[in-house]
Amino acid sequence: MIHQSKSYIKFVRLSKNKHGVHSPFVYDLVTKCFNDKKKYPEYEILKKHRQALRKDASMIEMKDFGQGSRVFKGNARKVSAVVKNAGMRKKRQKLLFRLARYLKSEIILELGTSLGLGTIALSLSNEFSAMHTVEGCPNTLRKAQGYFEKFNLHNIQIHQELFSDFLSESRSIGTRKYNLIFIDGDHNGERTLGYFNSLLKSVHNNSVIIFDDIYWSKDMTAAWQQIIANENVTVSIDTFQWGMVFFRKEQPKQHFVIRV
C-alpha cells in the first residue's frame, strides 16, 4: 500500500489531460474515448448486471491462481461482497466498453474473467466480436457464465484453464491475432511480463494490451517499466489503474501519463 501511495503522488505530479498530449492518435483517444460523456444504451445492461451481482448472496469457493486477495481471508466468498470490495468500478467498466468500441475491436481476449464485469463490457462493445475470456477457477467461471446467459450474450467463448496453458505455443487458439487484450487476473510482475512476451505473437499493428493494477506492487511496476521499454511497443499510456500499450509502427516511441 505504501508503494501505491507513493506511486499515486508521482502520477498526479506527472499526469496530463488532453492539453498536454502532442500525438494526434492519443489526443483523439483521450478526447473521443476517455472523455466521451455519451450515455450508451449498453450502460443499462452493465448497470443491471452489476445490480444482480450485488444482490447475489450465494457463496462460491474461489481459487486464486494469482497473488491472492488483499480483502478476503479465505476462499469461500459471497458474490455480492466480491463485487462490492474487489470488483471493477463502474467508471472503469464503462471506459473498457468505450475503448473496445472506439478501437473497433473484433477479436478480444480477457485473461481473468472473475464474475464477468469486464467480460460483459467488452462483449457489449461489438455484438459481432469474438470475445474470449480465460479463468482458472471453475466455480467463478460457472457463476459468470450464468449471468452471460441471463443477459443473452452469445459472443463470449469461455476457457477454464490457467493463463499459461491457454497461451502455450502448442495451442492455435492462443496464437491468433487479437485487437484488444485485457489482462486482469494476476498481479505477479514476473508472470505478467511472461504473459506479455507470450502475447507478442498475437498482436498486430493496431492491437492494444491493457494491464490492470500496474502499481499493485513494486514488482508489478517493474514489469510495467520493462513492458513499455520493449522495442515492439511504440505508444504506452499510464492511467494509474491501467497501463496500455500499442504497437503502431507508424508512430515514434512515446509514453504518456494521463488522468482519466
Report the b/e string of 64-83 with b at 16+ CB within 10 A. Answer: ebbbebeebeeeebebbbbb
Cell 463490457: give the residue.
121
DSSP state, residue 105: -
Cell 450515455: give the residue.
39
Retrieve residue 222's grid coordinates. 517493474
What pLDDT was estimated at residue 176? 84
DSSP state, residue 34: I
What pLDDT was estimated at residue 28? 96
What pLDDT was estimated at residue 172? 55
| Residue 209: other Cβ atoms inside 10 A | 25
Domains and CATH numbers, the chain: 2-257 (3.40.50.150)
> Reduced to 3 DSSP states, what percent helix, strand and coil does the chain have, rounded to the nearest 5?
45, 20, 40
What pLDDT was estimated at residue 170? 52
Per-residue pLDDT of the chain (260 residues; tens, 9 = 90+): 799 999 989 989 988 787 778 889 999 999 999 999 999 999 999 999 999 999 999 999 987 765 445 454 567 889 999 999 888 999 999 999 999 999 999 999 999 999 999 999 999 999 899 999 999 999 999 999 999 999 999 999 999 999 999 998 655 555 589 999 999 988 899 999 999 999 999 999 999 999 999 999 999 999 999 999 999 999 999 999 999 999 999 999 999 999 98
Cell 502532442: give the residue.
22
